[in-house]
Amino acid sequence: MVVPVAFGQPDTGHVVLYLCLLAVCLYVARTDIYERRIPNRTLLFGMLFVVILALLFIEDYFWSMHALSGIVFFLGFALFSFCLPFAMGMGDAKLLGFLAFALGFQEFLSMFSIACVTAFLTALLLSLTKKASARDTLPFAPFVATGMLWQLLSLVLDFV
C-alpha cells in the first residue's frame, strides 16, 4: 500500500534508499582510506538491498533507465580504469556503476559532480600546502560518500 505524501516531501522509500546508499558509501570510503580497496561483497549486498527496496516500496523506479545508466557508467568507468589504472581503480568503477544503477542518470550526475568538485578542491588544497605532490593518489570513495550525503540532504531538505 502506498501512502500519499504532501507536496514537496520525499516519500519514505526514496529516503530509505538514499540512507542505504549513504551507509554503503561510508563503509566503502572507510575501507578505501585504510585498505585502498573496495569490497565486492559490500557492493553486492547494496545492489541486493536496492533491488528489494525498489521492488517493494518505490513505485516510480524505472528499471530500464536505471539499468541502462548503471551499465553505461560502469562500462565507461571500467574502460577508463583499464586505460589509466593509476587514475581510477576498478573498485571505483564498480562503485560508480552501482550508484548509477541505484540513483538513475540525473541524480547520479549530480552526486558525481559534487564528488569530483570536492576531490579537486581537496587535491588543490593538499598541493598548495605541500602535503601531497602530483604523484600521490587520493582514494575516491570518500568523495563519492560526500556526494551521496549531498544527494540525501537535497532530497530531504528539497533544496536542489
Neighbours of 119 (CB within 10 A): 18
Residue partners of 150: CB distance under 8 A and separation at least 6: 110, 111, 114
Q: What's the confidence (pLDDT) of residue 85?
A: 86
Place of cell 536542489: 160
* Residue 126: other Cβ atoms inside 10 A: 14
By C-alpha distance, which of 148, 143, 48 is closest to 88?
143
Nearest to 78 by CA among 66, 98, 92: 92
Q: What angle do CA 61, 8, 70 make, to 5 degrees?
A: 25
> Tens digits of per-residue pLDDT, 43-89?
999 999 999 988 888 777 788 888 999 999 999 999 999 999 888 99
* Per-residue pLDDT tens over the stretch 94-150: 999 999 999 999 999 999 999 999 999 999 999 898 887 777 889 999 999 999 999
C-alpha cell at 135: 604523484
Residue appearing with cell numbers 571505483: 92
